[in-house]
Amino acid sequence: MPRSATRRRAFAAALACAAMLSACTGNADDGPDGGAATATPVVAPSAADSSAQSAVSAAVAASTDVTAAGAAARAKAFTGSALVSANAAAKMLPGRTAGEKADAEVSTEGVKVLAVSRAGDTPAQILAQTTLKKTGAPVLVLLTAKTPAGPYQVAALTPVLPSAKIDSFDPTIDGSPAIGNGKGLAATPDEVVASFADSVRFPGPATSKLLAVDPFTEQLRQSASAQSQALNNQGTFTQSWTPKDVIGGVRLKDGQGAIVFADLERHDAIAMRTPQKLTPDKELTLLTGIKQITSEAKLTSNEIIAIVIPASGQSRVVAASDQIVAGSGR
């Protein structure tokens, strides 16, 4: 999730901000309906409700367990890049303040199922919504399973951006079609994700014709610019994104488009022109073992975004999460 922190020195501020910035599923069908031959949900609405509730509860409990048992619980509750992010966040948890922990806490109450995929589409998917416990802000949870019976695991846990609109889906009694190859959408998921990556690289972000302006993209651009300026000509800062995978998503109601969850890897690099003696935040040290930085630092983060791709017009990022997962420095 998007996070912020205060720092003692300009370069330390730049480094920490980079470190702690917080915060297509296919099938054989090529048509816009993805699975129009049947309107059978992959799992019954009542089963989807109970699966979503139990999966979110398990994920929240595992996220804050820093013991060996917690690692095993996360392996059951999360999958893919969400698991990598959850494990990294757990390592950094002891370095966070009580306020930071409270800001990021996800509620396990009132979990609501927004959509389920249709029978025959793999993997089985449940799209649910919960909230941040402190503010009540919505959080999208994409759950996937190898079989309709489950178990369902968290493949994405993404806070919804301020003022973002989540469109309607087909009733869960019918299920929602899979994305397929993207036919009927304004652009394919791969094209939109690549466009996002180009639009937030630094230096030289590209203007995207496929994506509308959103708060998250603007935050990323402003943060990168601020980090570069904070170096005050003492070094260079670069930031790039590598699209990794379209991890899931379903079509919207009445052929209005689709919501797509994509995984990208963000690379932040700082190179000093003259040696410095900088001490990273405790969180970063807990994750990477880096205790001092003198000349350069490289950070890798998992970026999971949810994008609504309409049938026509510009796509928009509606939810996003960010978690540093690796780093090096010397």
In tens digits, what is the pLDDT along the chain, a chain of 330 residues?
Answer: 344 333 333 333 333 333 333 333 333 344 444 434 448 999 999 999 999 999 999 999 999 999 989 999 999 999 999 999 999 999 999 999 999 999 999 999 999 999 999 999 989 999 999 999 999 999 999 999 999 999 999 999 999 999 898 889 999 999 999 998 899 999 999 999 999 999 999 999 998 999 998 888 999 999 999 989 988 778 899 999 999 999 999 999 999 999 999 999 999 999 988 888 888 889 999 999 989 888 999 999 999 999 999 999 999 999 999 999 999 988
At 280 the pLDDT is 85
Q: What pTM did the predictor assign?
A: 0.87
Q: Which DSSP string corresponds to 54-97?
A: HHHHHHHHHHT--SHHHHHHHHHHB-HHHHHHHHHHHHHGGGS-
At 230 the pLDDT is 86
- 196-210: burial string, b at 16+ Cβ within 10 Å, e else: bbbbbbbeebeebeb
At 273 the pLDDT is 87
**What is the DSSP-derived secondary structure letter of residue 249?**
E
- Give the tokens for residue 230: 């904070």
Task: Show the beta-strand stretches assigned E in the chain.
Answer: 112-116, 124-131, 138-145, 153-159, 235-251, 257-272, 296-310, 316-329
